[in-house]
Amino acid sequence: MGGKMYSGAFYCFIFLPVSIIIYALTPRRFRGKVLTLLSLFYFFVLSQFLVLVPIITIFVTHFAAKLIEKKKKKVFFFVPFILLFGALACFKYFPLGLTAPIGISFYTMAAAGYLLDVYWKRTETNEKLEHTALFLTFFPVIVEGPILRQPEIRETLFKFENISLINIEKGAVRIAWGLFKKLVIADRLSVAVGTIFDNYQNYHGFMIVCGAIMYTFQLYLEFSGVMDIVVGSGWCFGIKLPENFRQPFFSEDASDFWKRWHISLGAWFREYIFYPISVSGVVKKWMVFGRKRFGRWFTNFVVSILCLFPVWLCNGIWHGSGDNFIFYGMYYFVLILFETSTKQPWHKLMKKIHVNVKAPWYIAIRTVKVLALIFIGETIFRANNLSEGLSMIGSIFKGGFFDGVSAQAFLDLRIDAMDYLAIGVGLFVVFLIDLLKEKNRFDVEKLFTMKTPAKWAICYALIFSVIIFGAYGDGYGDVALIYAGF
């Protein structure tokens, strides 16, 4: 299946270009239907007859939304809701031996969000069935998101603009950039990371730290690289899909990290769990009651628990039923609860002792701290289960930190010196681009207004680095997409 995914030749060189041509030849009023058929066809290529599951989801979601709009009865909302999440649970959490349809965790979230938006009257319902279908299964987003939200996406998704050269140029460059991140860097890291995580008993100290860092970079480059391909594919059709990443390693703290990492998942939980709970009767009553008796800080502390706990429990469970995923969710729950309840006192303290929180040394320490927290979280996330993850973290502090570290130890991770060079150069390029983006100095539009030779020099450099330095051949094979497994 790996070869048919977004980073494979079938998608990039056959399916996407052919889809663009078919779309371009179709009159506007049929474009929604044609894109839907293309999407379901792509799904069929990936998951064969399991395509029935998203088709049923489309029908249930579409007609349930209409019913909810007409008669605002709770039953029309709860029945489809139970159906959607029941299907998700059967495929994903219960050991029935079923293969889950690809992307089910993603389109189920989109469907549930749409029903909630209609129920709360935050969006209009889709008139046409193909609009609901496209919203749930538009082929670039079906495998691993971004999870779309109806109020945010309807403006661009249902416009069916004409194909334009500039949009295709923009899309193609973005896709090439994503392929560079995945094939040149992430797929190489994947080999070394696999060696450490699958034989974690053989490593300790510095090597485990390297494993944690390499996995976090692998995950970032792979997931954000695929998102570049996804957003680029959308561009080809003039559709502006939401961004899922925003320079996550420049985060101030754990809460900031989740505004920059898998943004669409965090946004879903914020819009459909966090806010609704925060304006619910229980929380409001507690606010009035708590403030009179316990003061502001403690009242807000309890409100944070009430609103955050369900979000992070769901975040953990969403990734899977493994105890490491539940721990991962709870880990961020504790970190973010701690941050929100100490932020104000901390800043007051810093002001009192005259510490400039904008000073480079302060930012440097803060960045090291947040990166360490991120690396620990991703180690647990990647481990086969919680006890392995915890024992990996524990083994960092066992024995001499640098014992057994040598150039040979790194070469034994099954990638060679040239691979490390490719990874190093690749990471440096990605870091530079992210740094420029973070400082608002990066404007991709400029590339397209450059003189032709300069523009093509950059494009060729990107394309040839993917072709020449991509991780192909013996020892690599197709590396399956990590998030396609969720």
Tell whether residue 437 is a contact of other proteins (CB under 8 A): no
Tell whether residue 251 is a contact of other proteins (CB under 8 A): no
Tell whether residue 274 is a contact of other proteins (CB under 8 A): yes
Site for other proteins in 185-244 (CB under 8 A): none
Q: Which residue has the tokens 């979280």?
A: 377
Tell me the number of residues near other proteins by CB under 8 A: 22
At closest approach, how far in Å is the CB of 340 from other proteins? 6
3-state DSSP of 373-430: HHHHHHHHHHCCCHHHHHHHHHHCCCCCCCCCCCHHHHHCCCCCHHHHHHHHHHHHHH
Q: Of 96, 279, 353, 407, which one interacts with other proteins (CB under 8 A)?
A: 279
Tell whether residue 275 is a contact of other proteins (CB under 8 A): yes
At closest approach, how far in Å is the CB of 305 from other proteins? 12
Q: Of 303, 335, 370, 396, which one interacts with other proteins (CB under 8 A)?
A: 303
Contact 28, 159 (CB under 8 A): no
Nearer to other proteins, 204 or 260 (CB): 260
Tell whether residue 122 is a contact of other proteins (CB under 8 A): yes
C-alpha distances (whole Å) from 323 to each of 48, 261, 289, 311, 407 are 31, 22, 36, 17, 35
Residues in contact with 454: Cβ distance below 8 Å, sequence separation at least 6, in sequence order: none
- Residues 365 and 198: their CA atoms lie apart, in Å, by 32
Tell whether residue 259 is a contact of other proteins (CB under 8 A): yes
Q: Is the peptide bond before 146 cis (omega within 30 degrees of 0)?
A: yes
What track of x and - describes contact with other proteins for positions 325 through 354 (by CB under 8 A)?
---------------x--------------
Nearer to other proteins, 116 or 374 (CB): 116
Nearer to other proteins, 314 or 386 (CB): 314
- Residues 140 and 234: their CA atoms lie apart, in Å, by 7
Nearer to other proteins, 74 or 414 (CB): 74
Residues in contact with 226: Cβ distance below 8 Å, sequence separation at least 6, in sequence order: 6, 7, 143, 144, 178, 182, 481, 483
Tell whether residue 300 is a contact of other proteins (CB under 8 A): yes
At closest approach, how far in Å is the CB of 82 from other proteins? 20
Sign of CA dihedral 311, 146, 45, 131: positive
Contact 180, 428 (CB under 8 A): no
Q: Of 1, 287, 363, 425, which one interacts with other proteins (CB under 8 A)?
A: 287
Tell whether residue 44 is a contact of other proteins (CB under 8 A): no
Contact 470, 190 (CB under 8 A): no
Binding site for other proteins (CB under 8 A): 116, 120-122, 151, 255, 259, 270-271, 274-276, 278-279, 284, 287-288, 300, 303-304, 307, 340
